[in-house]
A and B are shown apart, each in its own frame.
Chain A
Amino acid sequence: MNAQQPDLHRLVLASLLAALIAVGGYIAIPVGPVPIVLQNLFVLVAALLLGSRWGAAAVAVYLLAGACGLPVFAGGGGGLGHLFGPRGGYLFGFLIAAWVVGRISESFRQRPVAEIVAMVVGSLIIYAVGVPWLQMLLGLSLGKALAIGMYPFVPGDLIKIAAAYAIVKSVRPLLHFGRRPEPGRSPADPVA
């Protein structure tokens, strides 16, 4: 990949995953101030499918679109107020988690056990950023913040990790970017 011709497949897929992260937030089931959403599922899928760099890029573009005010956050919200609101920590957590999950999955060459461990680590990172943030902004005790910001979601997260794994296994063979660079088309070659 060079500056003139970026990897279009990854670029389009990263945009699709950013859109899926947004759609995953539209069906937000409220259980207190933090809703159950499918967003973190797609964050994990993005990281596994695209790797650390483009996975984090997908989340970053999603955050940027939300910061501009486009309705992409949970339930159709948007704006800086949401990004720095009580649930903003989870959103920044997504960014770090996407990078770390992608990184682990890459360094172990997409071995199944490594991917699952990576997703568990990623989910923990999301809470590690999100819960203290929630605690700070809503002025709760740590125990209470964990009770509304983490414990209700743990069973769901286990299901999401299983689902993310199934999705990645099912979708990976459909995609073409594994075939690049093709002979004679590698970015290093100067194309006439």
Chain B
Amino acid sequence: MAALIFGYQPGHTVVHRIDARIKLAALALFSIVSLQAGFPGLGLALVAALLLLPAARCPPLLCLRSLRWYLVLLLCIVAARAATTAGEPLLASPWLPASRQGLEAGLVLAGRLLVIALLGLLVTVTTRPSHIRAAVEWYLRPLPFIPHQQIATMIGLLVRFIPVILTQSAELHDALRARAIDQRRNPLRRITYLGMPLLRRTFVTADRLAQAMEARCYGMERTRHQWRTGACDWTALGLVTGFCALLLAIS
């Protein structure tokens, strides 16, 4: 558990410094463009994602390990697609019903999801939750009839709570190991001993946080975040747009 990274990691790389609004926009833009991308485009995007991760001091192998369940899931999607899509058979054996078209469709689908997951991880790891909150607020502000401040606060808290839950779960896991409870045969006991204190603890943490916010008069009329957009940010935006255009062009 402790090896998972789903939270902000402080750093001073270029990726860390880019405006959070641009990072979010790039992620959303890319997730739309990737719906159109084919094999060559996705391969290029995957290479780009794997190059960006070390640039942000975020080891690609650790990222892939954090996403290991996702990878297995993607394999299942590929298998399901290959087995269910009609087309010319891949193997002569009747026991493995796999068609080439199905395999290709499955790989494209899985590649799409994998690239987005890697880039999403990159954004979460390199952006402060408060900046994500401010960026969401900035995007929602022009929309009418939407409590944009509340939604932005909730997204910021959501992004912040995920690493808190994972850390507390790792701590509890260690505490249980120290008391040899992980040796218990009954899996229900093990899960209850881990799950119940974990949930009670996180709920109490959240409750205290709410009380603390209330005590400090946290209202929805917040001072707006001061955005500083420099040449670096515009270059990044230009690069991302160019890359997306390239993807659309080659697919």
Binding site for B on A (CB under 8 A): 3-6, 8-9, 11-16, 18-20, 22-23, 26-30, 32-33, 35, 57, 61-62, 64-65, 67-72, 74-82, 85-86, 138-140, 148, 163, 166-167, 170-171, 174-177
Given A11-B154, A61-B155, A69-B30 contact (CB < 8 Å): yes
Contact present for A13 and B84 (CB under 8 Å): no
Residues of chain A within 8 A of B202, CB atoms compared: 16, 20
Minimum Cβ distance to chain B for residue A85 (Å): 7
Can you list 10 A-B pairs, Cβ within 8 angstroms, ordered by A? A14-B154, A15-B154, A30-B72, A70-B120, A71-B120, A77-B113, A81-B35, A82-B113, A174-B203, A174-B204
Where the two chains meet, the residues of B that have a C-beta atom closer than 8 Å to any C-beta of A are 4, 6, 24, 27-28, 30-32, 34-35, 66-67, 69-73, 75-77, 80-81, 84-85, 109, 112-113, 116-117, 119-121, 123-124, 132, 136, 147, 150-151, 153-155, 157-159, 161-162, 164-166, 169, 195-196, 199-200, 202-207, 209-211, 213-214, 218-221
Chain A residues, Cβ within 8 Å of B121: 71, 76
In whole Å, how far is B225's beta carbon from the nearest beta carbon of chain A? 17
Contact of B81 among A16, A62, A75, A138 (CB under 8 A): A138
Which of chain A's residues have a CB closer than 8 A to the CB of B196?
A: 166-167, 170
Chain B residue nearest to A185 (CB atoms) is: B214
For residue A76, which residues in chain B have a CB less than 8 angstroms away from its CB? 6, 66-67, 69-70, 117, 121
Distance in angstroms between the alpha carbons of A148 and B91 in the assembled complex: 24
Q: Nearest Cβ in chain B — how far from A96, in angstroms?
A: 19
User: In the assembly, what is the distance between CA of A76 and CA of B123, in Å?
Assistant: 13
Q: Is the CB of B158 within 8 A of A80?
A: no
Q: Which residues of A have CB within 8 Å of B164?
A: 19
Q: Which of A75, A85, A167 contacts B67 (CB 8 A)?
A: A75
B74 CB to nearest chain A CB (Å) = 8
- For A177, list chain B residues within 8 Å (CB): 210
Pick from B151, B157, B169, B221: contact of A64, CB below 8 A: B151
Q: Answer whether A71 and B158 are a contact pair too, CB < 8 Å, given A8-B210, A139-B85, A171-B203.
A: no
Whether the pair B73, A75 counts as a contact (CB closer than 8 A) is yes
Interfacial chain A residues near B205, Cβ < 8 Å: 16
Pick the contact of B120: A61, A64, A69 (CB < 8 A).
A69
Pick the 4 closest A-B CB pairs, nearest first: A75-B70, A19-B161, A79-B116, A15-B157
Q: Within the complex, what minimum Cβ distance (angstroms) separates A37 from chain B?
A: 9
Q: Which residues of B contact A70 (CB under 8 A)?
A: 27, 120, 123-124, 132, 159
A28 partner residues in chain B, CB cutoff 8 A: 69-70, 73
A81-B31, A139-B85, A177-B210 known; 11 other A-B pairs, CB under 8 Å?
Answer: A19-B158, A26-B6, A61-B151, A69-B28, A69-B30, A69-B116, A81-B35, A81-B116, A86-B77, A174-B207, A176-B211
Expressed in whole angstroms, the Cα–Cα distance for A28 and B4 within the complex equals: 14
B209's nearest neighbour on chain A, judged by CB, is: A12
- How far is B137's CA from A96's CA once the two chains are assembled, in angstroms? 25
Supposing A11-B150, A76-B70 touch, asked if A22 and B210 sit within 8 A by C-beta, the answer is no
Q: Are A57 and B73 in contact (CB under 8 A)?
A: no
In the complex, A69→B169 CA distance in Å?
A: 25
How far is it, in angstroms, between the C-alpha of A34 and the C-alpha of B50 when the chains are bound? 27
A18 to B202, CA, bound (A): 13
* Set of chain A residues within 8 Å of B84, measured between Cβ atoms: 138-140
Tell me, rounded to whole Å, the shortest Cβ–Cβ distance linking A27 to chain B.
7
